[in-house]
Amino acid sequence: MPDRDLIGPWLRRFLTEYIVSERNLARNTRASYRDTFKLLLPFASRKVRKPIERLAMQDLTSALVLKFLAHLEQERGCSVRTRNQRLAAIRAFARFVGSRDPAQVEWCSHIRAIASKKAMLPPVGWLSREEMEAMLAVPDRKNRRGQSEYALLLFLYNTGARVSEVTQLKVRDLTLDRDRGGHDLATLHGKGGKIRQCPLWSETERVLAEQIIGRAPEAPVFLSRLGHAYTRFGVYRLVERCAADVPRLAGRAVTPHVIRHTTACHLVLAGVDINTIRAWLGHVSISTTNIYAEIDLTLKANAVALCEVGSPGPKRRWKEDKDLMAFLNGL
| Catalytic residue numbers, as ranges | 162, 191, 257, 260, 283, 292
| Alpha-helical runs (H) found in the chain | 7-13, 27-48, 62-74, 80-100, 105-112, 129-136, 144-159, 163-167, 202-211, 232-244, 256-269, 274-281, 286-289, 297-306, 322-329
Alpha-carbon distance of 151 to 139, in angstroms, equals: 10
Q: Assess contact for 289 and 274: CB atoms under 8 A.
A: yes
Backbone torsions φ then ψ of 193, nearest 5 degrees:
75, 10
Q: Evaluate whether 177 touches 199 at the Cβ level (below 8 Å).
A: no
Q: What are phi and psi of 224, to 5 degrees?
A: -75, 180
Half-sphere exposure of 173 (CA within 13 A, CB side): 20
For the beta carbon of residue 238, count every other beta carbon within 10 angstroms: 21
Question: Which strands form 184-189's sheet, in the order they lie side by side?
Answer: 174-176, 184-189, 195-199
Q: How many residues does the chain have?
A: 331
Q: Are strands 195-199 and 184-189 parallel, antiparallel or unpaired?
A: antiparallel
